[in-house]
Amino acid sequence: MRSSYNFNKIDDTRVIDYIINLVNFEQNLLRVMQFVFGDTILVRDFDAAKELISKYRMVLQDGTVFERTGTVSGGHFDIPNILNVNKKIAEITAELDTHSKLKEKYDEEVIEKESTLNSLMTEIKVRQKTLDETKIKINQLLKEKSKFTGTESEISDSIRALEGEKTNLSSKLEELEKDKPEKIIDHKKEIEALDREVNELQVKVATSGNKLSAVLMSEINNLEKRFSQLNKERDKFENEIEEVQNAIKDTQENYDKARKELSARSNNLSMLRKRRNELSIELGTLQKQHDDIYNRSQKIVSDLNALKVKEAGSKVKFETAEEEYNKYKVDGVKIEEGETIEKITKELNQLNSKINSFGPINELALKTFMETQQQYEEFNVKLEKLNEEKGRILAVISEIEQKKLESFMKTLSDINSIFTKVFNSITKGKAELVPEDPNNVFSSGLDIAVELPNKRVRNIRGLSGGELSVLAISLIMALSKYTDAVFYVLDEVDAALDAINAGNFSALVKAYSDSSQFIIISHNETTLINADVIYGVTMNDQGISRVVRVKMPEQSNQ
């Protein structure tokens, strides 16, 4: 269960909640949890804890503890507890959310890649269809070329036939020249006409052949270029498809890997939750068994003691009766008075009644007692182991406390070294921080031991106002120097200083200004003597204020 233990409500966004309200535990452990956690609160960060210090006992999420006294402790030993389990569950849950987001991202990428792949496949189909149509067109053109080639062959045959006819006519012409000049002239004209016709046909054939060849070659070249371009595009698309398929494969592998890891972590989380529940149930069962066994053992011990008391009483009475019986049982002697026998008989009857009142003997009682005793011894063994574990834990705590003390004392020594040096540079005296209780430095505070020249004083209660100011300034400068502060704002810290101490303070600030920047609000001229720049506020006759900036000369020119 998770407690809703009621404290005063804290209306502060820097505070998460009381620790006891953030821990799951059984109801029977409520008092233990109240004792362990009390009113400790969980805050968000270190800065919030510093602002709330001394008001509450606080814990950061990294385990740093802030006591009300101002003591800060960290570096807790790692002991498995419910808080760590809850933190682990939260981390695993966050990781599950991250993997879920990655899964959604991978799903979106897979959908996007599939869409791109579908688009590419569609475009490839269109390009393939265009390629098929181009092939068909090329085949048609080749057929037309073959047709024209056949026509050209026929024309060539006709030309050859005409040439043969021309040869025949020439032969006839030679024969006819011998016969009639008129026929010769007619035949010459006919031959010339045939020559012209042949020439025209040859020119026509050549022209049509050249045109057809040029057209066909141009078309074929274009188709070949287009075919080559389509092949290149097809190769490009095939490469892109292969890249997309590889990307989809990688994405699917990453997705499967993420799902397996997510499943493994989910199973691990379920096992952790199941184990936690089993341990809680087992703890409750063991506690209940321990209580039952303890109560039974106490009852059995009580019953055995009662039986032993009754047995001892009965034995005493029986022995008394037996002695009294033997006393009066004498051979040859008759008891004349019956009062003693009646009394003995009565007592014997009473003893028999008491024995009968004990009832039957419980033979399982001894067995139950032995089992209970064995369980009791087992619990004692577990208790010894827990005590040993407790001893080891206490040893770790002691070691941590020792290291914490050593670290604290080293830091205190380093600060005291700077503190004494700064204080001595102003007053020629000595000052250092000392624990109020050296045996318990974390529960006590710090005091300041002071030694001034020509003045007997051991603590700050005997100092004047100016000396207290010097002491406070020295401590602030020492702490800032230890943490390497680079920027200081001092508001009239020299108000109570005399001229000598003010001059020493000014010289100290000048020396520190090589590595740090100082802004000092002051009305002391001695303090301002080493300033680099002075800003002043003045009022004119009209009552209007204005800021005046004065750059001071170098020290050598003052």
Q: What is the pLDDT of residue 427?
A: 83
Count of the separate structural domains present in the chain: 5
Pair (124, 70) in one structural domain: no
Pair (152, 206) in one structural domain: yes
Pair (464, 515) in one structural domain: no
Domain boundary at 393, 417, 440, which? 393
Handedness of CA 57, 59, 63, 69 (dihedral sign): negative
- Residue pair 479/448 in contact (Cβ under 8 Å)? The answer is no
Q: What is the pLDDT of residue 296?
A: 66
In degrees and rounded to multiples of 5, residue 483 shows phi and psi of -95, 10
8-state DSSP, 545 = E
Domain boundary at 335, 369, 393, which? 393
Pair (257, 125) in one structural domain: yes
Q: What is the pLDDT of residue 362?
A: 62
With respect to residue 402, please indicate whether it lies within any of the assigned structural domains: yes
* Domain extent for 519: 484-558
Closest CA to 296 of 378, 379, 372: 372
Q: What is the pLDDT of residue 558?
A: 40
Q: What is the pLDDT of residue 90?
A: 64
With respect to residue 7, please indicate whether it lies within any of the assigned structural domains: no
Pair (401, 380) in one structural domain: no
Pair (341, 255) in one structural domain: no
Beta bridge partners of 66: 58, 72
With respect to residue 6, please indicate whether it lies within any of the assigned structural domains: no
Pair (384, 417) in one structural domain: no
Q: How far apart are CA 431 and CA 424, in angstroms?
A: 8
Q: How many CB atoms lie within 10 A of CB 228?
A: 10
Q: What is the pLDDT of residue 177?
A: 53
Ramachandran region, residue 275 (left: φ > 0; alpha: ψ -120 to 50; beta: rest): alpha
With respect to residue 96, please indicate whether it lies within any of the assigned structural domains: no
SS3 content of the chain, % helix, strand, coil (to 5): 70, 10, 20
CATH number, domain of 531, equals: 3.40.50.300
Closest CA to 397 of 50, 113, 65: 65
Tens digits of pLDDT across the chain (558 residues): 555 555 667 777 888 888 888 877 777 777 767 777 778 888 888 888 877 777 778 888 777 888 877 777 764 444 444 455 556 556 666 766 676 677 677 677 778 777 777 777 777 777 777 767 776 777 776 676 666 556 556 666 666 666 676 676 666 656 655 555 555 566 566 666 666 666 666 666 556 555 555 655 666 677 667 667 777 777 777 777 777 777 777 777 776 776 777 677 667 666 766 766 676 676 667 667 666 666 766 666 676 666 666 666 656 666 666 565 565 554 444 444 444 556 767 777 777 776 666 666 666 766 777 777 788 788 888 888 888 888 888 888 888 888 888 888 899 899 999 989 988 888 888 888 888 888 888 888 888 888 888 777 766 777 888 888 888 888 888 888 888 777 888 898 888 888 888 888 888 888 888 888 889 999 888 888 888 899 988 888 788 888 888 887 765 444
Domain boundary at 362, 393, 424, which? 393
In degrees and rounded to multiples of 5, residue 527 shows phi and psi of -65, -35
With respect to residue 528, please indicate whether it lies within any of the assigned structural domains: yes
With respect to residue 427, please indicate whether it lies within any of the assigned structural domains: yes
Pair (141, 38) in one structural domain: no
- Residue pair 347/318 in contact (Cβ under 8 Å)? The answer is no
Handedness of CA 230, 235, 239, 242 (dihedral sign): positive
With respect to residue 91, please indicate whether it lies within any of the assigned structural domains: no
Contacts of residue 72, defined as CB under 8 A and 6 or more positions apart, other chains included, come to 64, 65, 66
Closest CA to 25 of 5, 51, 55, 45: 5
CATH number, domain of 44, equals: 3.30.70.1620
Pair (472, 501) in one structural domain: no
- Residue pair 269/93 in contact (Cβ under 8 Å)? The answer is yes
Closest CA to 494 of 508, 515, 473: 473
Pair (244, 107) in one structural domain: yes
CATH number, domain of 196, equals: 1.10.287.2610
Type of residue found at 99: H
The residue length of the chain stands at 558
Question: What is the secondary structure of 6-32 as a DSSP string?
Answer: -------TTEEEEGGGG-B--GGGHHH
Pair (158, 204) in one structural domain: yes
8-state DSSP, 410 = H
Q: What is the pLDDT of residue 242?
A: 75
The token pair that represents 552 in the structure block: 């001071």
Which element (helix H / strand E) includes 37?
A: helix 30-37
Pair (150, 242) in one structural domain: yes
With respect to residue 291, please indicate whether it lies within any of the assigned structural domains: no
8-state DSSP, 363 = T
Q: What is the pTM of this model?
A: 0.34
Q: How far apart are CA 524 and CA 96, in angstroms?
A: 65
